[in-house]
Amino acid sequence: MSRISRPRVCVGWPVAALLALAICAPARAHDEDEGSRLAPEAIEEILVTSQRHVTASFALTVPAREFELRPLESGGQMIEAVPGAMTAQHTGGGKAEQYFIRGFDADHGTDLAVYFDGVPVNLRSHAHGQGYLDLHFVSRETIERLVGTKGPYLPRYGDFGTAATIEYVPYRRVEESSVEFEAGAWDTFRLFGLWSPRSGAFGGADPDARGYLSFEAYGTDGPFREAEDLRRYSLFGRGEVRLSPDLRLSGHLLAYSADWNASGLIPERRVKSGDLSRLGSLDPSEGGETSRLQGKLQLDWRLAENRLLVASAYLASYELEMFSNFTYALADPHACDGIVQRDGRVYAGGRVEYQQFVALPWPSNLHAGLEWRYDDARVRLGHQTRRRVTGFARDHDIRELSLGPYLELEVFPLEWVRFIGGLRLERAAFDVDSRLAGGGSGSGDDTLWLPKANWILSPFGEGSPWVSENDALRGLELFLNFGVGFHSNDARSGLLDERILTRAPGAEIGVRTRLFDRVTFSLGGFWLGLEDELVFVGDEGTTESAGRSRRLGVEFVARADLSERFYLRGDLTYTSARLTRGDVPVPQATRFIAKAALGVRAGNWVAELGLRSLGDRYAGEDFRNPRLSGYTVLDLGARHRRSPWEFGLAIENLTGTRWRSSEFHYASCALSERGAVPACPAALALAGSAAAADAPSAAAEGIDDFHFTPGNPRNLRVWLRYRF
């Protein structure tokens, strides 16, 4: 098989033009509020009216104010503002979080799709796991809102969007520049700057151009005995210019890098025996480094009063080198079990969507589009001892191409009835080439047809034969949703004649209403199936198939403005996740998630007390197995603003709870346990030595145990911001 060399990263003239646009474009300080309706002749009106209506009871719109008081350590933790979602961190603050949502331990992104300003962030066929989702490059001050939907119900969303799809939507304009400094426990610091120019090539506050540039530097040693020495740096610029009354060009440029140490997962038995501190480590050489560079351009073209064409393209480069040791000295008592995972890739893609109002027998909106993506990656798995690489077991060049044409039609047959249906065709092809003899090479393809159908009813609203005078009933909406989604599997699994595209049918019924003009709540039940939970285990370089699975769950979300000063938010989710063979639990799947926040506004002060709770989970495919520990943690955030200054503080883990951020159950052997316990026999000879041929195997059965990363102890962070 011919080998295709990886192209060099070359952002070229489009990104150079974008950078100039981001630096020179002035902010529109005098514009009306972003959510207000714009002038009829402006292209923005078409963009506003083309935004999707709510299609499910748990469609997502999370404004910035709902995560600005949270004690966030990274952009990935912003997902915790989404009802029913939680995150966890292990192996250092430079590695992607684990994501818990709708009965999934989505590991690092397998069943949760995330877009940043229209660019997909999930990485397929990744060295550490399918759909790897690192959001540390996001600065919270640049994000206006999170939007998306739970479930696989919209044709426009594709790969990994089985449990949910979330879009990070950055601000189109920023009216004030600012500088911020944050400091906290464990030598934590954060420096953030945002520049929104008001003069330059575009001539002051020009309504036809806007842009801003942000920079963030973050560092911490963490609470562990071995310093984490985490350093993250990110640069983000976004700009747009109106080329004509009907034509707008926008885009962004992003650069990010990070390096860190990690204390890793520790065995419960060593902590209970007193041999290891709860904040200690058995291999402090874990950690790594990573980087991302990406650019995007988008063109919005109003073809006619009721027709719009949106075309976008992006190019991204990504690198990761990560050192881990999960089992310590289980397999190799001499060099230990450290592994190194390397991923280097360039990926490019885009989307073209045509939107039109059509006069069918009923008023209708048509959306027809095409999403495409190409990945060119080199993915490696090797052995290491204290970051000294001793060799590679797998080394693959992987090329993947996907095409996703889709059609979506929104129809209003009655004033109180709305239907949104459509079809997506997903076509994927891959080419895998091993650089090592016997490593496996090959190519293949797969195709899926993915139908979607959504009914939204207002049975007691205007135009209904049952219209009600009761405000709660009149505003009630009933949602009936069905869709078939999918997630891709690692291309290397295709070499084993496994499907690389896995269907995920889902259905949902729910209601949403508003009471007394102060309380909004949603209640619903959902079902989601996977035809095969086939997962590539990056830590071992193999694939595992768990077979078919199903998830049944119920979700409740409430928002209440109790008074002009007090507000309350809360959500509860319970999910039963089962493998259909034997009706056994899906290991590590989340069962119960609850979150709540009580806030108060008093003059220039805003404060919020937050609660997050994750229930116990099954450790394996057995209801009798020990369970992974749940936790409940309280956080407090506050902010005071007296222009141009702003001061804030965040207290994480207010009550000092001893909790486990991440936890797994498997077998391991510490080096000191070799020869001390029967499950970890002593090593009799060095592998490769003359005596090794006649010596008993040094392989060990290991000790089954819980392995965990402790959650942060109580800690305080304060920040000061100056706006200008």
> Does the pLDDT at position 270 exceed 90?
yes
Q: Which residues of 693-724 are buried (b: 16+ CB within 10 A; e: fewer)?
A: eeeeebebebbebbbbbbbbbbbebebebeee
Residue 334 burial by Cβ neighbours in a 10 Å radius (0-12, 13-18, 19+): middle
| Residue at 533 is within a domain | yes
DSSP 472-520: HHHT-EEEEEEEEEEEE--GGGGGGT--SEEEEEEEEEEEEEEETTTEE
Asked if the bond preceding 681 is cis, omega within 30° of 0, the reply is no
| Residue at 35 is within a domain | yes
Is there a contact between 590 and 104 (Cβ–Cβ < 8 Å)?
A: yes
> Does the pLDDT at position 266 exceed 70?
yes
> Does the pLDDT at position 538 exceed 50?
no
Q: Of how many residues is the chain composed?
A: 724
Is there a contact between 440 and 536 (Cβ–Cβ < 8 Å)?
A: no
> Does the pLDDT at position 12 exceed 50?
no
Average pLDDT over residues 691-712: 73
> Does the pLDDT at position 49 exceed 70?
no
Query: Rg for the chain (alpha carbons), in Å?
Result: 26
> Does the pLDDT at position 569 exceed 90?
yes
* pLDDT of res. 574: 98
Cα(229)–Cα(596) distance, rounded to whole angstroms? 32
More confident of the two residues 470 and 448: 448
What's the total number of domains in the chain?
A: 1
How confident is the model over 167-224, as pLDDT tens digits?
999 999 888 899 999 999 999 999 999 999 875 544 455 668 889 999 999 999 999 9
Q: Which residues touch 210 (CB under 8 Å, ≥6 apart)?
A: 25, 26, 27, 28, 172, 173, 239, 240, 241
Cα(83)–Cα(569) distance, rounded to whole angstroms? 10
* pLDDT of res. 696: 41
Tokens of 687: 């592998």
| Residue at 434 is within a domain | yes
C-alpha triplet 530, 536, 539: angle, nearest 5°: 140
> Does the pLDDT at position 534 exceed 80?
no
> Does the pLDDT at position 52 exceed 60?
no
Least confident window among 5-9, 154-158, 191-195, 572-576:
5-9
Calculate what percentage of the chain has a pLDDT beyond 70: 87
* pLDDT of res. 43: 42
* pLDDT of res. 689: 46
How confident is the model over 67-86, as pLDDT tens digits?
888 888 999 999 999 999 99
How confident is the model over 227-260, as pLDDT tens digits?
999 999 999 999 999 999 999 999 999 999 999 9
> Does the pLDDT at position 687 exceed 50?
no
* pLDDT of res. 442: 93
| Residue at 688 is within a domain | no
Is there a contact between 617 and 623 (Cβ–Cβ < 8 Å)?
A: no
In whole angstroms, how far apart are CA 515 and each of 56, 217, 522, 562, 685? 19, 44, 11, 12, 74
Half-sphere exposure of 698 (CA within 13 A, CB side): 24
* pLDDT of res. 655: 97
Q: Phi first, then psi: give them for residue 269, nearest 5 degrees.
A: -60, -35
* pLDDT of res. 461: 86
* pLDDT of res. 589: 92
What is the CB neighbour count within 10 angstroms for residue 3? 10
Determine if the pTM surpasses 0.75: yes
- For residue 594, what are the domain limits? 12-669+705-723
| Residue at 680 is within a domain | no
* pLDDT of res. 706: 95
Average pLDDT over residues 494-501: 79
How confident is the model over 331-352, as pLDDT tens digits?
888 888 999 999 999 999 999 9
| pLDDT, the chain, mean | 87
More confident of the two residues 41 and 639: 639
* pLDDT of res. 542: 53
Average pLDDT over residues 394-417: 96
> Does the pLDDT at position 692 exceed 90?
no
| Residue at 288 is within a domain | yes
Cα(199)–Cα(209) distance, rounded to whole angstroms? 11
Domain CATH number, residue 21: 2.40.170.20
* pLDDT of res. 195: 94
Least confident window among 16-20, 75-79, 517-521, 557-561:
16-20
How confident is the model over 296-317, as pLDDT tens digits?
999 999 999 899 999 999 999 9
Is there a contact between 309 and 370 (Cβ–Cβ < 8 Å)?
A: no
Could you tell me what percentage of the chain is helix, strand and coil, using 3-state DSSP and rounding each to the nearest 5?
Answer: 10, 55, 40
Confidence of residue 515 (pLDDT cuts 50, 70, 90): confident
Is there a contact between 476 and 458 (Cβ–Cβ < 8 Å)?
A: yes
Give residue 637's identity as a one-letter amino acid code: G
* pLDDT of res. 9: 36
Cα(29)–Cα(176) distance, rounded to whole angstroms? 8
Q: Which residues of 474-487 are buried (b: 16+ CB within 10 A; e: fewer)?
A: bbbbbbbbbbbbbb
* pLDDT of res. 582: 85
* pLDDT of res. 40: 30
Least confident window among 48-57, 109-118, 480-489:
48-57
> Does the pLDDT at position 327 exceed 50?
yes
- Strands 164-170, 112-116: pairing is parallel
> Does the pLDDT at position 34 exceed 70?
no
* pLDDT of res. 209: 86
Sole residue written with tokens 């560079």: 293
Least confident window among 7-11, 132-136, 309-313, 573-577:
7-11
| Residue at 682 is within a domain | no
| Residue at 1 is within a domain | no
